[in-house]
Amino acid sequence: MQLRAKTGYSFERKVRREGGFERYIKAPRIKWSGVGRNNVQKLLSLNKNPELFKPIFEESRFIKADARSEDGTLYEIKKYSKSQMNKFNLYSEPIIKVAPTRSEWGVGNPYYDSFDGSDEYNDFIRRLTKTKWWRKYNKTILENIYKSNSGIFSKDGFIPHDEIEFKWVINEGDYAPIFEGYHRLTIVFRLKQKLSWKDKVLIFLKNVGILNKYK
């Protein structure tokens, strides 16, 4: 286990102990259309068509949490300080991803056997974000996941959702490590940024221009 993961688990235990919370580890599990025992087989049954490879909402689970209080309130725990959270950090990777151990990678691994390298796989991920179902439902999936808990416990204490910004990105290794160049459709988060005086003026002028356009 990497040192980063070990220190993260230690911090989670500390938050639970000090907050009087129970350990409650839940991660999103999206059920996909198609036929097969795993997501790759389902995708192959649909000829790798991202427009047909859709989430089945009624069979999916969107809960994300690390701790639960006595009254049932759920919390996510992230070992970040507020200063670290001024930039986007990894929150969740609920969509299919290539993340094997080195010993699992090669013939026999479903992703290795089914895609002609990372370029084909990355093109599939890119095309998935252009589908009609993604444009219609990606915000719903995003909100179902982060709103399944009440907020984030950080190194600087609890931060509610109304102080945090969440969004989807295609992680090419710039937000968190990826395996062998295989991109990941990822949820990232940061503290909401305060607008500067200049930004406020620019937004005001833009809105005035839009209003004048329709007069």
Number of C-beta neighbours around residue 184 at 10 A: 23
- Single-letter code of the amino acid located at 2: Q
Q: What is the residue extent of each domain of the chain?
A: 3-213
Q: What is the mean pLDDT of residues 33-46?
A: 95
Q: Give whole-number Cα distances, 5 to 57, 164, 215, in Å.
A: 31, 23, 57
pLDDT exceeds cutoff 60 at 101: yes
User: Is the Cβ–Cβ distance between 57 and 133 less than 8 Å?
Assistant: no
Which residue is it, tokens 């990232």? 188
DSSP 192: P
User: Is the Cβ–Cβ distance between 63 and 94 less than 8 Å?
Assistant: no
- Across the chain, what does the average pLDDT equal? 91
Joined tokens for residue 195: 């607008």
DSSP 96-155: ------GGG-STT-HHHHHSSHHHHHHHHHHHHTTSHHHHHHHHHHHHHHHTTSSEEEET
Condensed to tens digits (0 to 9), the pLDDT of residues 1-27 reads: 444 455 678 999 999 999 999 999 999
User: Is the Cβ–Cβ distance between 20 and 70 less than 8 Å?
Assistant: yes
Q: What is the mean pLDDT of residues 86-115?
A: 94
pLDDT exceeds cutoff 60 at 115: yes
Percent of the chain's residues with pLDDT above 90: 85
Q: Are strands 65-68 and 157-160 parallel, antiparallel or unpaired?
A: unpaired
